[in-house]
């Protein structure tokens, strides 16, 4: 187990891919080890799906390479260690969930039991239903079940929780955490930054086919120094906005919200000018703020 | 626990292929709009044109001729529609990409569809044979039946290859219409509905362009309706069609 945890599951080394004249991926270097979850973030067209397609052997890199467990992704033996959930996968409507699961399990040497898959993906009562008659959220859960049914050591999840309700998302998160705890490596792309915040050990931000930031969620957040101040105050928003340390102000009823890089200075000034100020809150930038900032800098 | 003493579990390829074929069979079974016309049209046409409206006389034996050619007509559709439409749909909806990303044994996808096409061709052959012997008054030596069945089975290959190429080119929505645009005119121009001898000469002249014509000649030779016909050129032509269509499809479907 210890060995499985420390080994490199997937590595991109100078991987590039262009479609015609458009550079989709411009020499990225990344590595994910067992027991680690990497979130790939980036605006649409940043190269996330291309990075995953290269790792799965669906596309070939123009330059550089991608290795799965030290092998080429085109090798069946390499992919036998992987589970996959793609962003757009229309499974055959007329097949029942059980039939889809049985087939996908047969591709793996030591798959999970069917009951395990049902429990981990929340498929209770769905096994004998046809795929085409399931709701969008239920179909997503079936796709997730296909991704984990082989007991993979490396899991690719491309936008796994799009279209899921809150309960289903929470359950999927729990399953993903459990698998990471058992030594599985996970590569996740998501539009939901709170998902990356909740799950990821590391975050890589892609923009224009390059990695523009990579590190822990804390490190990424720390790249952005801005903080948010909220309070109930009678001060004139326009006047506060004129202070040199303040980036932006907006008033929402009796509350004002201030964005600044120098929270201490601004708070001192606020308290000095408005003795009636109440309900003061100071918040660090979330991953979402950092993400917006980093991708704007990169653009 | 010592893992080294346990034999490492292995993937059973046989099980992958069997489940793949089972799922493919269930998909076709649950899509009656494919299965019913495919299975019913050739026997229906045979019943109409070989049994009901057959004026026996002259050298043209419609009951034997049409047994061979409607068999070919029946071989074409599981290839064109089974492959063409399902591959187009799988490709368009991303199921093919997911299967290629998963550790599916590379041959399983095509093998399962090929087996289904052969199964449909066999069912059509059996229905036609029953109609021909009971209502059509056809009597053939056992060797002729075997040769006819062998020709039909061999004929599955070029049409599956053509269907695969079609499926690699067009959208799932367009696939059925385009498959029909190939299926019906080619059947007519290859003399599967009536002998080319009753049609304008140029139609007979361009017939070697159509794989269905070559397969038709093989089937007719099997039942003694094409005396003196050389088999080898037709077998070679069908093999060449298969290779070309597969190569074209491979190029379209290749990993980018």
Mean pLDDT, each 10-residue run in order, chain A (299 residues) = 63 92 91 94 87 93 94 93 90 95 95 94 94 93 95 94 86 94 94 85 90 86 81 91 90 90 92 92 78 75
Pair of tokens at residue B151 = 């020709």
Query: A55: nearest CA in chain B?
Result: B101
Tell me whether residues A86 and B12 touch, CB distance under 8 A.
no
Q: Where are the beta strands (DSSP E) in chain B?
A: none
On whether any CB of chain A is under 8 Å from the CB of B48, the answer is: no
CA–CA dist A237, A86 (Å, integer)? 47
Q: How many CB atoms lie within 10 A of CB B5?
A: 6
Tell me whether residues B255 and A88 touch, CB distance under 8 A.
no
Q: Which residues in chain B are contacts of A66 at CB distance < 8 A?
A: none
Tell me whether residues B103 and A150 touch, CB distance under 8 A.
yes
Q: Which residues in chain B are contacts of A91 at CB distance < 8 A?
A: 93, 95, 98
User: Cα angle vertex B92, ends B86, B93, to 5°?
Assistant: 90
Distance from CA of A110 to the nearest CA of B (A): 6
Q: Which residues in chain B are contacts of A60 at CB distance < 8 A?
A: 255-256
Q: Which residues in chain B are contacts of A74 at CB distance < 8 A?
A: 255
Query: B100: nearest CA in chain A?
Result: A58
On whether any CB of chain A is under 8 Å from the CB of B7, the answer is: no
One digit per residue, the tens of pLDDT, for chain B of length 256 reads 444 455 677 888 999 999 999 999 999 889 888 888 888 999 999 998 888 876 655 556 888 999 999 999 999 999 998 888 989 999 999 999 999 999 999 889 999 999 999 999 999 999 999 999 999 889 999 999 999 999 999 999 999 999 999 999 998 889 999 999 999 999 999 999 888 888 899 999 999 999 999 999 999 999 988 888 899 999 999 999 999 999 999 888 875 4
User: Cα angle vertex B23, ends B17, B27, to 5°?
Assistant: 145
Pair of tokens at residue A248 = 């932006």
Residue-wise burial string across B74-101, b where 16 or more C-beta atoms lie within 10 A, e elsewhere: bbbbbbbbbbbbbbbbbbbbbbbbbbbb
Distance from CA of A172 to the nearest CA of B (A): 20
CA–CA dist A158, A83 (Å, integer)? 11
What is the DSSP secondary structure assignment for residue A96, as one 8-state letter? B
User: Cα angle vertex B218, ends B213, B222, to 5°?
Assistant: 145
Query: Residue B217 in contact with residue B229, Cβ under 8 Å?
Result: yes
CA–CA dist B179, B85 (Å, integer)? 8
Run of H or E including B83: none
Tell me whether residues B23 and A100 touch, CB distance under 8 A.
yes
Q: Which residues in chain A are contacts of B22 at CB distance < 8 A?
A: 99
On whether any CB of chain B is under 8 Å from the CB of A22, the answer is: no
Pair of tokens at residue A120 = 């981990």
Tell me whether residues B11 and A56 touch, CB distance under 8 A.
no
Q: Which residues in chain A are contacts of B97 at CB distance < 8 A?
A: 58, 86, 89
Q: Which residues in chain B are contacts of A72 at CB distance < 8 A?
A: none
- Mutation for A interface: B103, B106, B109, most A CBs within 10 A: B103
Run of H or E including A3: helix A2-6
On whether any CB of chain A is under 8 Å from the CB of B256, the answer is: yes
pLDDT recorded at residue B1: 43
CA–CA dist B73, B138 (Å, integer)? 19
CA–CA dist B219, B225 (Å, integer)? 9
Q: What is the pLDDT of residues B38-73, one digit of tens each?
A: 889 999 999 988 888 766 555 568 889 999 999 999
> Residue B254 burial by CB count (10 A; 0-12/13-18/19+): exposed, middle or buried?
exposed
Distance from CA of A107 to the nearest CA of B (A): 6
Which residue of A84, A90, A92 is in closest CB contact with B102? A84
**Domain residues of chain B, as ranges?**
14-253
Contacts of A290 by beta carbon, 8 Å cutoff, 6+ apart:
A220, A221, A223, A224
Distance from CA of B86 to the nearest CA of A (A): 9
In order of their start, the domains of chain A are 227-298 (3.30.70)
- Mutation for A interface: B98, B116, B171, B253, most A CBs within 10 A: B98
CA–CA dist B163, B81 (Å, integer)? 7
Strand A185-189 relative to strand A37-41: parallel, antiparallel, unpaired?
A: parallel
On whether any CB of chain A is under 8 Å from the CB of B40, the answer is: no
Q: Token match 């539009």: residue? A: A191
Q: Token match 């964005």: residue? A: A259
Long-range contacts of A259-265 (CB under 8 A, 24+ apart): A259/A226, A259/A227, A259/A228, A259/A229, A260/A226, A260/A227, A260/A229, A261/A225, A261/A226, A261/A227, A263/A227, A263/A229
Tell me whether residues A86 and B98 touch, CB distance under 8 A.
yes
pLDDT recorded at residue A40: 93
Q: How many CB pairs under 8 A join A and B?
A: 90
Distance from CA of B21 to the nearest CA of A (A): 10
């Amino acid at each position: 187990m210890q060995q499985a945890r420390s080994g490199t599951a997937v590595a991109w080394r100078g991987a590039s891919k262009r479609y015609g004249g458009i550079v989709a991926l411009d020499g990225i270097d990344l590595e994910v080890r067992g027991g680690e979850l990497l979130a790939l973030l980036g605006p649409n067209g940043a190269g996330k799906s291309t990075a995953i397609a290269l790792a799965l052997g669906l596309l070939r890199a123009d330059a550089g390479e991608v290795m799965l467990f030290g092998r080429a992704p085109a090798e069946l033996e390499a992919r036998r260690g992987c589970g996959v959930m793609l962003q757009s996968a229309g499974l055959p409507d007329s097949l029942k969930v059980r039939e889809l699961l049985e087939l996908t399990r047969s591709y793996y040497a030591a798959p999970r039991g069917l009951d395990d898959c049902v429990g981990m993906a929340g498929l209770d009562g769905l096994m004998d239903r046809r795929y085409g008659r399931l709701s969008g959220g239920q179909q997503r859960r079936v796709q997730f079940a296909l991704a984990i049914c082989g007991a993979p050591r490396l899991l690719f999840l491309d936008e796994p929780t799009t279209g899921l309700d809150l309960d289903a998302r929470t359950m999927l998160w729990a399953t993903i955490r459990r698998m990471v705890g058992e030594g599985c490596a996970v590569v996740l792309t998501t539009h939901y930054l709170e998902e990356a915040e909740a799950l990821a050990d590391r975050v890589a931000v892609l923009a224009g086919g390059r990695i523009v930031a990579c590190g822990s969620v804390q490190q990424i957040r720390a790249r952005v120094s801005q903080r948010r101040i909220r309070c109930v105050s009678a001060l004139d928003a326009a006047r506060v906005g004129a202070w040199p340390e303040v980036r932006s102000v907006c008033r929402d009823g009796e509350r004002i919200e201030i964005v600044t890089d120098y929270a201490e200075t601004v708070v001192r000034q606020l308290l000095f000018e408005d003795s009636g100020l109440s309900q003061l809150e100071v918040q660090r930038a979330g991953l979402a703020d950092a993400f917006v900032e980093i991708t704007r800098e990169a653009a | 626990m010592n893992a080294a003493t346990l034999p490492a579990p292995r993937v059973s390829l046989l099980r992958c292929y069997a489940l793949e074929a089972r799922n493919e069979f269930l998909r076709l079974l649950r899509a009656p709009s494919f299965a019913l016309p495919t299975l019913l049209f050739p026997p229906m046409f045979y019943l109409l044109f070989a049994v009901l409206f057959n004026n026996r006389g002259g050298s043209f034996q419609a009951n034997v001729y049409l047994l061979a050619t409607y068999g070919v007509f029946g071989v074409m559709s599981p290839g064109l529609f089974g492959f063409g439409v399902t591959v187009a749909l799988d490709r368009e909806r991303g199921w093919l990409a997911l299967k290629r990303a998963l550790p599916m044994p590379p041959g399983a996808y095509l093998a399962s569809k090929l087996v289904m096409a052969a199964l449909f061709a066999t069912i059509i052959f059996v229905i036609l044979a029953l109609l021909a012997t009971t209502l059509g008054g056809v009597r053939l030596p056992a060797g002729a039946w075997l040769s006819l069945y062998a020709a039909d089975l061999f004929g599955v290959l070029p049409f599956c290859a053509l269907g695969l190429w079609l499926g690699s080119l067009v959208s799932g929505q367009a696939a059925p219409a385009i498959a029909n645009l190939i299926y019906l005119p080619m059947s007519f121009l290859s003399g599967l509905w009536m002998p080319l001898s009753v049609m304008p000469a140029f139609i007979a002249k361009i017939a070697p362009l159509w794989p269905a014509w070559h397969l038709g000649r093989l089937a007719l030779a099997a039942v003694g309706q094409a005396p003196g016909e050389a088999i080898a050129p037709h077998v070679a032509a069908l093999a060449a069609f298969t290779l070309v269509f597969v190569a074209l499809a491979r190029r379209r479907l290749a990993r980018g």
